[in-house]
C-alpha cells in the first residue's frame, strides 16, 4: 500500500498564531495513502487538531500558515481557490467532529441535513437522494430510517447522532475522512461500536481515514500507522506495532507509561463491619412541575446495596445513564433518597443529627470537573482551608500548619496558596480539589470521575497521587468512573451498574478476568488490556473481542 502514490501529503507544515507569534504546529510532515487509516495522537496543545484541520483549510482566523505544503490527490491545498476548496471539501474529504451534540443543526430535519451535501455535490433527483439516504441510515444502524428522515437530532442519543453524522459524511463516498476525536464524548461501549462502524464503512468505500485522538489505545487498535505529536512537533511516526512495542522517543514512552495498568491485588485487613454500607437505596427524580402540569418522575436508582470496608477502594462503573453519578451524590448526601438506608460505622445517618454530622465531617467528595468545582473568587489557600472552618477545637496556627502540610502532600507547595484557580492547569486544579477533600482527614472519600477531564499523562500523575494519599491516610474510597482502564488500576473491588441497578459485583480480578454478566463483558471488550515489554513498550490485547459487536449495534 505504501508503494502507491499517497492520497494526502503534508510536508513541512508550520502554523503560527498571528498576534503572539507562537508556533503551534512546527514543521509537521506526514502522509496518508488511499484506503489507509492513520492516527494522530497527542495531548491538548499538541497541535494535532490544527494540523489535521489545515488539510482542508479549516484553521481559525488567528492562525497563520507560515510554510509547508499540503497536497491532496496531487493538488496543492494551501493555494487552492476558495471555490475549488469548497468543492473538494464534502465531496472528496469528509469530517466528523468530537461533539455530536453540536455538529448537527438542531433545527433542521435529519433528512434535510443529509440531503444538503448530496444536492450540492451529486446530480440526483429528490427520489434518488432519498433512496441513498435511507440506505445509508440503515447501514449505520438506525432502526427506523424512514422515521429518522423526518426527525430532529435531539431525538437521538450522542452515539446515534455520531452515527448519523457519519452517515451524512459517508453518503458522498469521500476519498478521505478526517475524524477529530469522533468518540471522545461517548462512553466506552458506544465508542467501540461507533469506531467499528466507521472502520467498516470506510473500508467498504475505500476511504482513507485520518483519526485524531488523545487515546493511544484506541488509535493503536484501528490505525495502521501512528503519528505522535507533542507541543506542535511530530516526535515519532511509524507502524502502530512498532510504536507500541519499541517506542523511540521519550514522550511516546511517557504516553505509554501513562496508560492504566494493573498492579497485584492488595491484601486488606479483614474486618467485620463495613465503614459505609448502603441498603436498598432508591432515588426518584421528580418530574417537571409547572403551574398547570405535573410530569411523571423517573426512577434513577432501583434499590442499590453495597458496602465499603475501611481502607478499601470500591469502584462503580457503568455507561452514561447507568445511575453511577446519582449514586455518588446520594451517598454524599447531596440528594435525598426516596428509600433505603445509608449507614456509617453501623449507624444510620438520617436517624440523628449527631450521626449525620459525624458522617458529614468524615465523608468528602472529589468532583469531576475541576473547572467548576472550585469557587473562582477564592484563592487556593482559602479553598483548601475552608473545610477546617467546621472542625471544632483546632487553633489558627494548627489550621495553618495543616493547610501547608496538605498543599505539600498534593505537590502544590510554594506560592500556590495565594493563587486563583484560573491561573492553574486542569491537573493542578484537580490536585486542589483532592487537597480540599482530604484536609479534614476524612475516613471516606467519594471520587466522581476525578480524572476524566484530564489529559493522559496528567491523569496518570493524579491517579498516582490519589493512590499514594489513599495508602498514606488509609481512607476508604468510592471511585465512580466510566473508564475501565482507570478502574482496573485503582480498585480493590468493582461494582458494575446498568440502568440504575447493580448487575455484577466482585473483586477487581474476578470482574476483569472472569466477568459473568453480558454487560460487564461488553464493557471490557471496549478497552484494551496492556502488557509491558522489555523495551519500555507495551503490547495491547483485547479481551472478549467477540463480545458485544453485532448485538451492541442492535441495542445501542
Q: x/- string (CB under 8 A) for other proteins, residues 489-528?
A: ----------------------------------------
Is 344 an interacting residue with respect to other proteins (CB under 8 A)?
A: no
Cβ 380 vs Cβ 416: under 8 Å: yes
Q: x/- string (CB under 8 A) for other proteins, residues 175-194?
A: --------------------
Give the nearest distance from C-beta 325 to other proteins in angstroms. 11
Is 98 an interacting residue with respect to other proteins (CB under 8 A)?
A: no
3 state DSSP class of 281: strand
Query: Would you say 420 or 542 has its CB closer to other proteins?
Result: 420
Cβ 502 vs Cβ 512: under 8 Å: no
Is 364 an interacting residue with respect to other proteins (CB under 8 A)?
A: yes
Give the nearest distance from C-beta 69 to other proteins in angstroms. 38
Is 436 an interacting residue with respect to other proteins (CB under 8 A)?
A: yes
Residue of the chain from 57, 310, 387, 506 that contacts other proteins (CB under 8 A): 387
Binding to other proteins (CB under 8 A) within 279-338 occurs at 289, 291, 329, 332-334
Number of residues that bind other proteins (CB under 8 A): 29
Can you give the three-state secondary structure of 337-398, one letter per residue? CCEEEEEECCEECCCCHHHHHHHHHHEEEECCCCCCCCCCCCCHHHHHHHHHHHCCCCCHHH
Give the nearest distance from C-beta 373 to other proteins in angstroms. 4
Residue 325: which residues within 8 A CB-CB, separation 6 or more? 368, 448, 449, 480
Stretch that binds other proteins, among 182-190, 301-309, 375-383, 509-517 (CB under 8 A): 375-383
Give the nearest distance from C-beta 374 to other proteins in angstroms. 6
3 state DSSP class of 545: coil
Is 374 an interacting residue with respect to other proteins (CB under 8 A)?
A: yes
Query: Would you say 26 or 368 has its CB closer to other proteins?
Result: 368
Query: Would you say 174 or 421 has its CB closer to other proteins?
Result: 421
Residue 132 to residues 108, 167, 200, 289, 304, Cα–Cα distance (Å)? 19, 10, 18, 44, 47
Query: Would you say 40 or 365 has its CB closer to other proteins?
Result: 365
Give the nearest distance from C-beta 289 to other proteins in angstroms. 8
Closest of 41, 43, 42, 50 to residue 22, by C-alpha:
50
Query: Largest Cα–Cα distance in the chain?
Result: 81
Is 422 an interacting residue with respect to other proteins (CB under 8 A)?
A: yes
Is 390 an interacting residue with respect to other proteins (CB under 8 A)?
A: yes
Residue 484: what are its φ and ψ, rounded to 5°?
-65, -30
Is 373 an interacting residue with respect to other proteins (CB under 8 A)?
A: yes
Is 357 an interacting residue with respect to other proteins (CB under 8 A)?
A: yes
Closest of 457, 35, 502 to residue 228, by C-alpha:
457
Query: Would you say 244 or 363 has its CB closer to other proteins?
Result: 363
Query: Would you say 226 or 439 has its CB closer to other proteins?
Result: 439
Residue 352's Cβ-side half-sphere holds a number of Cα atoms within 13 Å equal to 5
Query: Would you say 333 or 536 has its CB closer to other proteins?
Result: 333
Is 361 an interacting residue with respect to other proteins (CB under 8 A)?
A: yes
Give the nearest distance from C-beta 380 to other proteins in angstroms. 11
Closest of 367, 362, 358, 366 to residue 443, by C-alpha:
362
Kindly state the cell numbers that stand for 278.
448502603
Backbone torsion region of residue 536, taken as left when φ is above 0, otherwise alpha when ψ lies between -120 and 50, otherwise beta: left
Binding to other proteins (CB under 8 A) within 224-253 occurs at none
Closest of 181, 173, 166 to residue 90, by C-alpha:
173
Is 438 an interacting residue with respect to other proteins (CB under 8 A)?
A: no
- The C-alpha atoms of residue 391 and residue 361 are separated, in whole angstroms, by 8
- Which chain residues interact with other proteins by CB under 8 A? 289, 291, 329, 332-334, 357, 360-361, 363-365, 367-369, 372-377, 386-387, 389-390, 420, 422, 433, 436
Amino acid at each position: 500500500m505504501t508503494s502507491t502514490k499517497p492520497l494526502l501529503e503534508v510536508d513541512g507544515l508550520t502554523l503560527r498564531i498571528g498576534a503572539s507569534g507562537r508556533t503551534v504546529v512546527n514543521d509537521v510532515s506526514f502522509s496518508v495513502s488511499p484506503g489507509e487509516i492513520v492516527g494522530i495522537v497527542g495531548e491538548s496543545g499538541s497541535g494535532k487538531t490544527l494540523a489535521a484541520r489545515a488539510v482542508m483549510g479549516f484553521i481559525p482566523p488567528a492562525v497563520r500558515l507560515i510554510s509547508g505544503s499540503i497536497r491532496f490527490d496531487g493538488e496543492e491545498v494551501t493555494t487552492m481557490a476558495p471555490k475549488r476548496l469548497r468543492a473538494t471539501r464534502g465531496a472528496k474529504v469528509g469530517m466528523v467532529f468530537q461533539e455530536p451534540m453540536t455538529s448537527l443543526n438542531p433545527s433542521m430535519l435529519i433528512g434535510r441535513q443529509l440531503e444538503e451535501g448530496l444536492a450540492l455535490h451529486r446530480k440526483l433527483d429528490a427520489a434518488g437522494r432519498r433512496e441513498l439516504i435511507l440506505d445509508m441510515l440503515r447501514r449505520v444502524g438506525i432502526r427506523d430510517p424512514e422515521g429518522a428522515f423526518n426527525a430532529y437530532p435531539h431525538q437521538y442519543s450522542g452515539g446515534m447522532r455520531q452515527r448519523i453524522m457519519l452517515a451524512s459524511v459517508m453518503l458522498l463516498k469521500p476519498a478521505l475522512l478526517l475524524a477529530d476525536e469522533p468518540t471522545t464524548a461517548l462512553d466506552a461501549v458506544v465508542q467501540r461500536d461507533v469506531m467499528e462502524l466507521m472502520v467498516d464503512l470506510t473500508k467498504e468505500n475505500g476511504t482513507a481515514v485520518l483519526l485524531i485522538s488523545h487515546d493511544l489505545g484506541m488509535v493503536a487498535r484501528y490505525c495502521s500507522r501512528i503519528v505522535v505529536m507533542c507541543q506542535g512537533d511530530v516526535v515519532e511516526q511509524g507502524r502502530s506495532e512498532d510504536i507500541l512495542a519499541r517506542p523511540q522517543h521519550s514522550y511516546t514512552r511517557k504516553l505509554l507509561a501513562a496508560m492504566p495498568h494493573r498492579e497485584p491485588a492488595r491484601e486488606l485487613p479483614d474486618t467485620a463491619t463495613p465503614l459505609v454500607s448502603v441498603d436498598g437505596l432508591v432515588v426518584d427524580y421528580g418530574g417537571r412541575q409547572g403551574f398547570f402540569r405535573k410530569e411523571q418522575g423517573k426512577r434513577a436508582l432501583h434499590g442499590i446495596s453495597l458496602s465499603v470496608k475501611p481502607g478499601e477502594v470500591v469502584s462503580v462503573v457503568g455507561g452514561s445513564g447507568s445511575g453511577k453519578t446519582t449514586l455518588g451524590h446520594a451517598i454524599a448526601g447531596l440528594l435525598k433518597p426516596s428509600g433505603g438506608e445509608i449507614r456509617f460505622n453501623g449507624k444510620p445517618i438520617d436517624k440523628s443529627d449527631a450521626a449525620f454530622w459525624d458522617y458529614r465531617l468524615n465523608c468528602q467528595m472529589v468532583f469531576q470537573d475541576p473547572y467548576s468545582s472550585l469557587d473562582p473568587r477564592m484563592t487556593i489557600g482559602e479553598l483548601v482551608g475552608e473545610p477546617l472552618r467546621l472542625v471544632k477545637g483546632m487553633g489558627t496556627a494548627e489550621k495553618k500548619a495543616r493547610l501547608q502540610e496538605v498543599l505539600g502532600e498534593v505537590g502544590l507547595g510554594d506560592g500556590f496558596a495565594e493563587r486563583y484557580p484560573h491561573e492553574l492547569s486542569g491537573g493542578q486544579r484537580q490536585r486542589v480539589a483532592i487537597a480540599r477533600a482530604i484536609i479534614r482527614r476524612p475516613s471516606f472519600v467519594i471520587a466522581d470521575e476525578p480524572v476524566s477531564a484530564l489529559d493522559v499523562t496528567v491523569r496518570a500523575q493524579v491517579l498516582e497521587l490519589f493512590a499514594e494519599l489513599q495508602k498514606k491516610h488509609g481512607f476508604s474510597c468510592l471511585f465512580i468512573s466510566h473508564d475501565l482502564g482507570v478502574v482496573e488500576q485503582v480498585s480493590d473491588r468493582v461494582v458494575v451498574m446498568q440502568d440504575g441497578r447493580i448487575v455484577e459485583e466482585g473483586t477487581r480480578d474476578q470482574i476483569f478476568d472472569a466477568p459473568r454478566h453480558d454487560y460487564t463483558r461488553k464493557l471490557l471488550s471496549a478497552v484494551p488490556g496492556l502488557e509491558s515489554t522489555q523495551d519500555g513498550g507495551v503490547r495491547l490485547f483485547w479481551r472478549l473481542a467477540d463480545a458485544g459487536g453485532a448485538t451492541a449495534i442492535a441495542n445501542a
